[in-house]
């Protein structure tokens, strides 16, 4: 059975995931840390998991449980890489599909940005999510869930 894991801290597309998952009949696990409790949506197929506070605790929880028939919604590049290594699928909130072909360059770019910040340079954050991003996300999510279900 396919499960969608949501790296919920700062995830702007939870409602979209709930709609698609409900329509396609897949379970959703929303993982957040204790510093940012998330209100449960009251849907039978959605399970809320709150992990301890700390860097990468939610990521570790997801990476330890995700399987090849599952997918993760995350904009966290290292978590996406870990999910791909487990044979799962990964999708960013802006609709970017993480693949073995693009994750390496994304990790490298993240490392460069991190180094620049350590040097005191401002690198800016991600751009705000647009309607086009949400549309791209919904299309990619639907396609990826269908593929995951077929693989399961």
Q: How would you class 32 by CB atoms within 10 Å of its CB: exposed for 0-12, middle for 13-18, buried for 19 or more?
A: buried
The pLDDT of residue 117 is above 90: no
Q: Is the pLDDT of residue 104 over 90?
A: no
Average pLDDT over residues 127-136: 93
List of domains in the chain: 3-151 (3.40.50)
Give the pLDDT confidence of 46-73 residue by residue, as tens digits: 999 999 988 889 999 999 999 999 999 9
Q: What is the pLDDT of residue 40?
A: 85
Q: In what order do the strands lie in the sheet with 89-91?
A: 46-51, 27-33, 3-7, 71-73, 89-91, 97-98
């Amino acid at each position: 059975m396919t499960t969608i894991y949501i790296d919920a801290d700062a995830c702007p597309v939870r409602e979209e995931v709930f709609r698609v998952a409900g329509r396609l009949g897949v379970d959703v696990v929303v993982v957040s840390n204790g510093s940012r409790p998330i209100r449960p949506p009251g849907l039978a197929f959605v399970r809320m998991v709150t992990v301890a506070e700390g860097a990468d605790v939610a990521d570790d929880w997801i990476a330890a449980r995700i399987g090849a028939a599952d997918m993760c919604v995350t904009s966290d590049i290292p978590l996406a890489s870990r999910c791909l290594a487990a044979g799962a699928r990964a999708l960013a909130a802006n609709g970017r599909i993480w693949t073995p072909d693009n994750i390496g360059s994304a990790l490298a770019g993240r490392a460069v940005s991190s180094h620049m910040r350590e040097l005191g340079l401002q690198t800016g954050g991600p751009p705000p999510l647009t309607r086009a991003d949400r549309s791209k996300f919904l299309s990619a999510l639907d396609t990826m869930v269908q593929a995951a279900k077929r693989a399961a």
